[in-house]
Amino acid sequence: MNVVPDLKHDFPLRELNTFGIAASAKAYVRIRSVEDLQVVRADSTLSAMPRLVLGGGSNLLLTRDFDGLVLHMTGTGMAITGEDEQYRYVTAQAGEPWHGFVQWTLAQGCPGLENLSLIPGTVGAAPIQNIGAYGSELAEFLYAVEVFDFITGQSLTLSAADCRFGYRDSIFKHELKGRAVICAVRFRLPKEWQPNLRYAELAAELGVEPVAERSAQDRPAPTPRQISDAVVAIRRRKLPDPAVTGNAGSFFKNPVVSAAKRDALLAEHPALVSYLQSDGSYKLAAGWLIDQCGWKGKSLGAAGVHERQALVLVNRGGATGAEVLALARRIAEDVQQRFGVVLEPEPVLA
Ligand SMILES: Cc1cc2nc3c(=O)[nH]c(=O)nc-3n(C[C@H](O)[C@H](O)[C@H](O)COP(=O)(O)OP(=O)(O)OC[C@H]3O[C@@H](n4cnc5c(N)ncnc54)[C@H](O)[C@@H]3O)c2cc1C
């Protein structure tokens, strides 16, 4: 009989979540391969437990001790796996750190992911919420996802269409929640690379016009490396480093509202920050809404709102998950009361 590798009981998770919440897992195992998952699934005690798949713990709020089994995805490896006329195909294992993977693709001469530089976490978690930043989203480059279905024990490959990506959303948050373990991700990176400078702040950092079509007078287009460096520089300036101050990045999704709702809000609040979406709806800047409610820099117990980024909740030292959750609820209530807009948490609550 196969033995479950490195099985631990009452395992501390504080070092494994970027909020730095001191919670523990009833059982914990490191997963390096599909074979490890098969061994765990064959164990009747472990397979009957509630499961939490863990990557870098950077999009997770542990609200209490986890009374179940943590499957910590630690398998690494990345390779260029093929090419055709238009694309290069690259595969990375789930436990590979995301930023290191992006840097590796650039070093291999396979650009495309540079706008997503320095997002914390692992490759395997990236499809869960279709990570996005600086005008780019994972879904634009994802080719397929290799998944282990913990319920059936089958390995399967999902195409990008199968993943049903949306804004911070995918099938892994719905039908496949709790059963799909992502083991590897395959990417499709365009050979004819174009800089993505749609995001005005990024273009400004690079000293170029924030448009896709560039005029002849423009300076030469920035290179993928320059774009990655600019994204890194902006992120370092704007976001608290989880190694110093516990946080999980944006705590709330930017709410999407109808044009009628946005117009009504704009009439009352002329400074409202909103972005038109392709379907005619509007995305509101959640950080602006929170800031207007006076929460920036405030605290509730040891949980707080970052001084510069109202969207980022922080652990000011020794915060419990329950404290962070209580703060998030108070903020969401205030925003709902003042603007009639519902804020949804972005991190997974466990
Ligand atoms: C400072 C900071 C900045 C951030 N900036 C951004 C940003 O710009 N854009 C953005 O989109 N996100 C951002 N995030 C959020 C986070 O980095 C991403 O969501 C990231 O993809 C989470 O990866 P992780 O490995 O840490 O996932 P975890 O936190 O470990 O897990 C998150 C969820 O994914 C599930 N999961 C993890 N791995 C797997 C797997 N292999 N198979 C199945 N399920 C899995 C978990 O069960 C959990 O539900 C930021 C976070 C921080 C702390």
Q: What is the pLDDT of residue 91?
A: 98
- Residues 167, 125, 250, 277, Cα dihedral to 10°: -10
- The DSSP H or E segment spanning 149 is strand 142-149
**pLDDT, mean of residues 70-81:** 98
The Å distance, Cα 99 to ligand 1 centre, comes to 12
250 is known as an active-site residue:
yes
pLDDT digits (tens, 9 = 90+) for 250-309: 999 999 999 999 999 999 999 999 999 999 999 999 999 999 999 999 999 999 999 999
Percentage of residues of the chain with pLDDT beyond 90: 93
Indicate if the alpha-carbon torsion angle 167, 138, 91, 162 is positive or negative. positive
Residue that the structure tokens 């796996």 belong to: 81
Q: Could you write out the DSSP letters of every residue in 43-76?
A: -HHHHTS-EEEESSSSSEE--S-EEEEEEEE---
Tokens of 102: 């992006």
- Confidence bin at 215 (pLDDT 50/70/90): low
Q: Ligand 1: residues within 6 Å at CB?
A: 18, 52-60, 73, 94, 119-122, 124-126, 128-129, 131-133, 180-182, 239, 242, 247-249, 348
Contact status, residue 77 vs residue 93, Cβ threshold 8 Å: yes
Percentage of residues of the chain with pLDDT beyond 70: 97
Q: What is the pLDDT of residue 220?
A: 77
The Å distance, Cα 221 to ligand 1 centre, comes to 31
pLDDT digits (tens, 9 = 90+) for 92-129: 999 999 999 999 999 999 999 999 999 999 999 999 99
Catalytic residue among 140, 146, 205, 346: 346
Tokens of 166: 């949306």
Q: What is the pLDDT of residue 246?
A: 98
- Is 33 exposed, middle or buried, given 0-12, 13-18 or 19+ CB atoms closer than 10 A? middle
pTM above 0.75, yes or no: yes
- Is 148 exposed, middle or buried, given 0-12, 13-18 or 19+ CB atoms closer than 10 A? buried
Q: What is the pLDDT of residue 164?
A: 98
In this structure, of 71-85, 198-212, 319-333, the range with the lowest mean pLDDT score is: 198-212
Q: What is the pLDDT of residue 96?
A: 98
Nearest CA to ligand 1 atom 34: 125
**pLDDT, mean of residues 63-82:** 98
Nearest C-alpha neighbor of 223 from the set 62, 109, 332: 109
pLDDT exceeds cutoff 80 at 209: no
CA–CA distance from 320 to each of 73, 221, 317 (Å)? 24, 47, 9
Rounded to the nearest angstrom, the gap between the alpha carbon of residue 220 and the centroid of all alpha carbons in its chain is 32
pLDDT exceeds cutoff 60 at 212: no
Tokens of 91: 């595969």
Rounded distance between C-alpha atoms, residue 246 and residue 20, angstroms? 5
Neighbouring residues of 261: CB distance < 8 A, sequence distance ≥ 6: 282, 340, 341
In terms of DSSP bridges, do strands 51-54 and 66-73 run parallel, antiparallel, or are they unpaired? Answer: parallel
User: Residue 118 region, left (φ>0) first, then alpha (ψ -120 to 50), else beta?
Assistant: left
pLDDT digits (tens, 9 = 90+) for 34-62: 999 999 999 999 999 999 999 999 999 99
CA–CA distance from 225 to each of 18, 228, 229, 249 (Å)? 27, 5, 6, 24
pLDDT digits (tens, 9 = 90+) for 218-250: 567 899 999 999 999 999 999 999 999 999 999
Q: What is the pLDDT of residue 214?
A: 53
Question: pLDDT averaged over the chain?
Answer: 95
Nearest CA to ligand 1 atom 38: 125
Rounded distance between C-alpha atoms, residue 187 and residue 144, angstroms? 7
pLDDT exceeds cutoff 80 at 192: yes
The Å distance, Cα 241 to ligand 1 centre, comes to 15
Amino acid residing at 299: S
168 is known as an active-site residue:
yes
Q: What is the pLDDT of residue 103?
A: 98
Phi, psi (deg, nearest 5) at residue 173: -95, 0
Rounded distance between C-alpha atoms, residue 131 and residue 163, angstroms? 13
The ligand 1 atom at the shortest distance from the C-alpha of residue 122 is 25
- Confidence bin at 4 (pLDDT 50/70/90): confident
pLDDT exceeds cutoff 60 at 346: yes
pLDDT exceeds cutoff 90 at 326: yes
**pLDDT, mean of residues 320-341:** 98
- 270 forms beta bridges with none
Rounded distance between C-alpha atoms, residue 79 and residue 72, angstroms? 22
136 is known as an active-site residue:
no
Rounded distance between C-alpha atoms, residue 174 and residue 201, angstroms? 33
Rounded distance between C-alpha atoms, residue 66 and residue 245, angstroms? 23
